Amino acid sequence: MPSRAGTPPADSPRDEPSETPPSETPVIEAPALIDAAALIEVAGLNRVYRRPRTSLTRPGEAVHALRDVSLTVRRGERFGIVGESGSGKSTLLRLLCGLDRPTSGSVRFDGREITGLPERGLRFLRENLQIVFQDPMSSLDPRMRVRDLVAEPLVALGLPVGGRVAELLEEVGLPASAADRYPHQFSGGQRQRIAIARALAPKPKVLVADEPVSALDVSVRGQILNLLADLVDELGLTLVFVSHDLAVVRHVCETVAVMSGGEIVETGPVDDVWARPAHPYTRALLEAVPTLEGLL
Amino acid sequence: MLSVDGLDVHAGPVRLVRDVSFGIGPGERVGLIGESGSGKSLTALSLMGLLPEGVTASGRATLDGDDLVGVPERRLKRLRGREVSMVFQEPMTALNPLMRVGAQVAEVMTLHGRPRAEARERAVHLLGRVRLPRPEQIARAYPHQLSGGQRQRVMLAIALANEPRLLICDEPTTALDVTVQKQMLELIAEVAPALLFITHDLAVVASVCERVVVMYGGRVVESGPIREVFTNPRHRYTEGLLAASRLTPRGTRLPTIKGSVPAAGGFPDGCVFRNRCPHATEACEQEPALTGDGHAFACWHPAG
Amino acid sequence: MTGRMNASLLTGGALVGVVVLAALASFVWTPHDPTLVDAARKLHEPGGGYLLGADKFGRDTFSQLMVGARTTLYVGVVAVGIAALLGTPLGVIAGMTPRGWLSELIMRVNDLVFAFPALLLAVMLGAVYGADTLTAMIAIGVSTVPAFARVARAATLQVMVTDYVLAARAAGRGPGAIATRHVLPNIGSVLIVQASVSFAIAILAEAALSFLGFGTRPPTPSWGRMLQESQELLFSTPRLALWPGLAIAVAVLGFNLLGDGLRDFLDPKLRRIRAER
């Protein structure tokens, strides 16, 4: 069929070279909690991948996906992370969500260290932090019905399902009849609604959205962004919103961290960063984005 | 120069593109915009004679008098890559991973009868023309050694190799980073002899093209000079699309178009947009004609 | 399933159906007792109640073919069952822990078994435990395990890098649930195809073993042994070789076509293209 709407490649870790096993326990002790409002605290995070070796005598080349990244997300905050492919934003996201282990550094969620924990120790994180992925085509198992997809986090965490699926579908603006159908029977925007319903199932405190609208048509993008804003307000969620588009982040978030080459090059209130970008990379990024207002 | 008149694209009983007409003059840059399912890519592919299996085009399209639609593959082959060429969205898969870049650029020239040595030399020249640094070195590289932006430049060099009269670009920068996109767009605008630029991104089309054709549901709903169409949209779909692409300040609601784009074959009769249009009335059950000189639109209840 | 029937699927299904029907019917009815030796009917020509004639012992060829179908399917089911039940979990484990030592171990042992000829294994097992249908089936099954493990591993690797597996992990799913809920359903179609191809190979292998005398023991009819027994009369009474040969060809072709057809039928990507058109 005709081309899908734009899907800028996220710096997907799939393409990344094979990884070296991360050192067992992170060495750096996280600084003591000072900010009581802090919900996610990242300190001195590094992630090094190693390319497959090409020579017998030398080990594969090391790739620094993340260099010494630190940031704090406060309760109820809408925090944006902006970067292009290869900036390390996807790696950071995976570490925040406990889907990967850092080479060094710490990630604390609600005061508890999550790095180095085995999967069964991450239950508190899974209950409280859920993700919406970029491409709703690929993030929903094509062989599962919507009912099972939405209920999956509940089942996985051993929480009661009950009438929650219908409730969630209504919350994201889908008919209850959607539950019996398969993902491919829905349009892109509707699929992203399903993904959002699923993420909200265990009533998390934090919603992490990884480029949730970049695979969608413009006419649908607004619907999803409005829906996210409504849900964040109603449910009092903390939002971590990752995007390659600073303009979208400016619409959604209060605070932004701009990433490039595995580092956070600039961070602050999004309006300040937008109006007075301090780092040359941020300036280049802002200049590069074509805007209708600027062109007409 | 290029003239498309009443182009239809069918997949079995389903009409995917209906009665599309537009033209491109020499040196003109025209944008074809639409969302998924609008038929914009099929329109482009039918001009190249590259429609997928089971999809057929009818109607008339000519490039300087040469027919592009409904002619045998043998004749199209001569035109393709020579008179009209295309750059695709995905720079990762469009190049042969086992062939050096220079050889791939040279190949399109030898295919159309240029001597091998000359083609090799010219390939390096072309790689320089699309502003790749150290073209001699790039020519010897394999695709995986290049970045996405560099690969897309190579694709552009291949497209330009035989000095075509028309360049078609299908979302050439969608897979690229914004900082790379900007340079690529400038380059395309500079080197294209005449351009048909397909995209879903209004801002991108505004930065490259002079004229725009807006498609929805397989039909042209509006066309005209870009500044005119974007500042004074007449079709309700164009109006909604423009509103939806402007990001309002934080805390405000974004304007939206209700519902979602129907699946292929699921668009309503009459005006294709009427099931999502806030201004639709009974009149819209009749198909509106594309009317207007210069700035044309197909709407019973135009805006403005 | 929203896939559309295709020619391979229909033809393959029909051919396999004929074999299955013959096998089922043989339980309740055969024209004659397929094991009844009757010197009076030695090399009886086709006709007169003997549709395809009789062999050198006077046994009815048609009845033997029907009961032989039973043996063939039995061998196929057990051999492929062994291969699938062992190979699939091994392949899935190897695919889910691509860099672990366990995965390495599984795949290296796999290569070892793969390098060992199936027929040789069957002959060895036959020599040690006595040649009969069961040892043949086990030998064929065990030597088909690597094929399943490889296919399952390759398919699992593909599924493991999808966003929906990442999403399932983020939702809190453990490896066991990911394997059963996400990996198996999504590699199922590949495995079914592999099964039908292996089925065809197993049928051939059983026929070959019986032909060599390492498979089904007399008097149980088997297509392979029918071929073997027809050997000395190949020039005088070629029909004795023709019919079991044809039966083997039909069954093998049937299962191969079925596998081909199923692959297209079950492929969600092909299905999506169809849906979009």
For C60-92, the pLDDT digits (tens) are 778 888 888 888 888 888 999 999 999 999 999
Which residue, among C163, C171, C166, C183, has the nearest Cα to A159 in the 3D structure?
C171
Answer yes or no: do B197 and B288 share one domain. yes
Percentage of the residues of chain B whose pLDDT score is greater than 90: 50
Residues 34-93 of B with CB under 8 A from C: 54-55
Segments forming the whole domain that contains residue B258: 2-83+164-297
Answer yes or no: do B65 and B190 share one domain. yes
pLDDT tens digits, residue range A17-39? 444 444 444 444 444 445 668 89
Has residue A1 got a pLDDT over 50? Answer: no
Considering chain C, what is the average pLDDT of its residues?
Answer: 81
Backbone angles phi, psi at B59, to 5 degrees: 105, -160
Answer yes or no: do B66 and B206 share one domain. yes
Cβ–Cβ gap A156/C166 under 8 Å: no
How far B185 CA lies from chain C's nearest CA (Å)? 31
Answer yes or no: do B100 and B184 share one domain. no
How far B43 CA lies from chain C's nearest CA (Å)? 16
- Residue A121 contacts C, CB cutoff 8 Å: no
Cβ–Cβ gap A252/B35 under 8 Å: no
Percentage of the residues of chain A whose pLDDT score is greater than 70: 86
Instruction: Decide if A267 contacts A80 (C-beta within 8 A).
Output: no
| Helix (H) or strand (E) run with residue B109 in it | helix B101-111
DSSP character for C212? H
pLDDT tens digits, residue range C138-160? 888 888 899 999 999 999 999 99
Predicted pLDDT at C173: 86
Is A257 within a domain?
Answer: yes
Segments forming the whole domain that contains residue A86: 38-52+59-289
User: What average pLDDT score do residues B239-243 get?
Assistant: 91
Distance separating alpha carbons of residues C250 and C72, to the nearest angstrom: 12
pLDDT tens digits, residue range A169-209? 999 999 989 999 988 888 888 999 999 999 999 999 999 99
Q: In which band, very low, low, confident or very high, does the pLDDT at C98 lie, cut at 50, 70 and 90?
A: confident
Of A85-94, A208-217, C225-234, the least confident: C225-234
DSSP character for B141? S
- Residue B263 contacts C, CB cutoff 8 Å: yes
Cβ–Cβ gap C277/B14 under 8 Å: yes
Cβ–Cβ gap A222/B206 under 8 Å: no
Chains near B with 3+ CB pairs less than 8 A apart are A, C
Tell me which chain A residues have a C-beta less than 8 angstroms from the C-beta of B178: 84, 244-245, 285, 288-289
Q: Is the dihedral of CA A206, A212, A213, A214 positive or negative?
A: positive
Amino acid at A208: V
DSSP character for C54? B
CA B23 distance to own-chain centroid: 13
Tell me which fold the domain C7-26+38-271 belongs to: MetI-like fold (1.10.3720)
Tell me which chain C residues have a C-beta less than 8 angstroms from the C-beta of A142: 164, 186, 268
Tell me which chain A residues have a C-beta less than 8 angstroms from the C-beta of B231: 296
Is A159 within a domain?
Answer: yes
Which residue's entry shows tokens 């007792």? Answer: C33
Cβ–Cβ gap B54/C277 under 8 Å: yes
Number of domain units in chain B: 2
DSSP character for C263? H
Question: Across the beta sheet with A112-113, what order do the strands follow?
Answer: A62-74, A38-50, A104-109, A112-113
User: What average pLDDT score do residues B85-99 get?
Assistant: 83
Is B149 within a domain?
Answer: yes
Predicted pLDDT at C48: 67
DSSP character for B80? B
Has residue C43 got a pLDDT over 70? Answer: no
Residues 6+ apart with CB under 8 A from A257: A71, A79, A80, A81, A82, A264, A266, A267
Predicted pLDDT at A2: 43
Distance separating alpha carbons of residues A84 and A96, to the nearest angstrom: 18
Which residue, among A47, A27, A99, A36, has the nearest Cα to A72 in the 3D structure?
A36
Has residue A269 got a pLDDT over 90? Answer: yes
The three state secondary structure string of B202-247 is HHHHHHHCCEEEEEECCEEEEEEEHHHHHHCCCCHHHHHHHHHHCC
Domain boundary among B107, B130, B163: B163
Q: Is the dihedral of CA C29, C30, C33, C35 positive or negative?
A: negative
How far B123 CA lies from chain C's nearest CA (Å)? 37
Distance separating alpha carbons of residues B277 and B271, to the nearest angstrom: 10
Has residue A7 got a pLDDT over 50? Answer: no
Answer yes or no: do B8 and B49 share one domain. yes
pLDDT tens digits, residue range B142-191? 988 888 889 999 999 999 998 899 999 998 888 888 888 888 899 999 88
**Burial classification of residue A177, based on how many CB atoms lie within 10 Å of its CB (0-12 exposed, 13-18 middle, 19 or more buried):** exposed
Residues 6+ apart with CB under 8 A from C22: C65, C66, C69
Cβ–Cβ gap A142/C268 under 8 Å: yes
Considering chain A, what is the average pLDDT of its residues?
Answer: 84
The pTM assigned to this predicted structure is 0.79
- Residue A14 contacts C, CB cutoff 8 Å: yes
Number of domain units in chain A: 1
pLDDT tens digits, residue range C230-273? 777 777 777 778 888 888 888 888 888 888 888 777 765 555 44
* DSSP 3-state of B114: coil
CA B246 distance to own-chain centroid: 22
Predicted pLDDT at A18: 46
Interface confidence, given as ipTM, is 0.83
Predicted pLDDT at C4: 57
A152 → closest Cβ in C161, C162, C173: C173
B214's tokens: 């807006």
Chains near A with 3+ CB pairs less than 8 A apart are B, C
Indicate left, alpha or beta for A101 from its phi (over 0: left) and psi (-120 to 50: alpha): beta
CATH at residue B290: 3.40.50.300
Answer yes or no: do B254 and B221 share one domain. yes
User: Could you give the residue ranges of the DSSP H alpha helices within chain C?
Assistant: 7-28, 61-96, 101-114, 118-129, 133-160, 163-170, 175-177, 184-212, 223-230, 239-266, 268-276
Answer yes or no: do B241 and B259 share one domain. yes
Tell me which chain C residues have a C-beta less than 8 angstroms from the C-beta of A198: 167, 171
Question: Across the beta sheet with B195-199, what order do the strands follow?
Answer: B84-87, B166-170, B195-199, B29-33, B211-216, B219-225, B296-297
CATH at residue A134: 3.40.50.300
* DSSP 3-state of C108: helix
Domain boundary among B105, B129, B163: B163
Predicted pLDDT at B168: 93
